[in-house]
Amino acid sequence: MRILRTIAEVRAAVRDAKAAGRSVGLVPTMGAFHEGHLSLMRAAREQNDLVVVSLFVNPTQFAANEDLSTYPRDEARDAALAEAEGVDILFAPEPAEIYPDGFATNIHVAGITEVLDGASRGPHHFDGVATVVTKLFGIVLPDVAYFGQKDAQQVLVVRRVVRDLDLDVRIVACPIVREPDGLAMSSRNVYLDAGARSQATALNRALDAADAAHRAGDRDGILPAAHAVLTEAGIDAEYLELRDAETLRPVTRIERDALLLVAARVGAARLIDNHLLAATSTSETSTNTETNSTTHGKGDA
């Protein structure tokens, strides 16, 4: 595996690969790798000839009061993990390489960025995500890019950028990877002390309870079931909302696939999670979820 620092180096490597007819897969990350990141790398390795992983803590998607300065960083550990997964190139640029002096361009996606995390974290967040991902697509020119379904809203934002700007890249979203107790893996889980770590499992349990209500046909009990679990755990959610899985419009009746999304501060960490609530019968749900994960795709970028 090569660790490259400059855009010119990455472009030269990709140019050589494409000239040889090799396919290119990209996994955009902010580092602090966990099993969720590694699952994306494995998917990219299985499906592409050249695998590029970007490691860049993107400053433009953090607000002044967020954890940019304390976000976990360990490049040597990340590099060893990526190499063990067969990654070919780790692109680890300095901020000035991505945002040189005079940088003045911003990608804004209207509508779907103004709710959920966009409302909680501010409009800068998804503007920063959309801008850096667009830059990475322009630098790496991947055939396929891989994201995690834990960041479901981010996946939809990236898909919209690709669609609206006619970018020639296929987006694959991979299923959420969870700890044995159900907690969604996240780089920010390292902020949790033992008490908060136990409390945080309530997020997935709340989503499970809502899913159970949905499967039982209790349309009016979906959100109350989730709220009850969070309340019992002493968690006051930033949001707990049922949204259309493609448009993020609010829904009250699940007539199309919907996402139940939650965000909450638990101890020192702000955590997010989601479940897909399928509009199909229980017997079809597993098959459809698997299909969405592998063909359309499903956090951390």
- 37 classed as catalytic: yes
Burial per residue of 198-217, b for 16 or more beta-carbon CB atoms within 10 angstroms, e otherwise: ebbbbbbbbbebbbebbeee
Task: Find tokens 């967040």 and name the residue.
Answer: 125
Query: Catalytic: which of 34, 37, 124, 296?
Result: 37
Q: What is the DSSP string of the chain?
A: -EEE-SHHHHHHHHHHHHHTT--EEEEEE-S---HHHHHHHHHHHHH-SEEEEEE---GGGS-TTSSTTTS---HHHHHHHHHHTT-SEEE---HHHHS-TT-------TTTTSSTHHHHH-THHHHHHHHHHHHHHHHH--SEEEEEGGGHHHHHHHHHHHHHTT---EEEEEPPPB-TTSPBP-GGGGG--HHHHHHHHHHHHHHHHHHHHHHTT-GGGHHHHHHHHHHHTT---SEEEEEETTT--B-SS-SS-EEEEEEEEETTEEEEEEEEE-SS-HHHHHHHHHHIIIII-----
194-215 and 222-232 helices, crossing angle to 10°: 160
> Which residues are tagged catalytic?
37
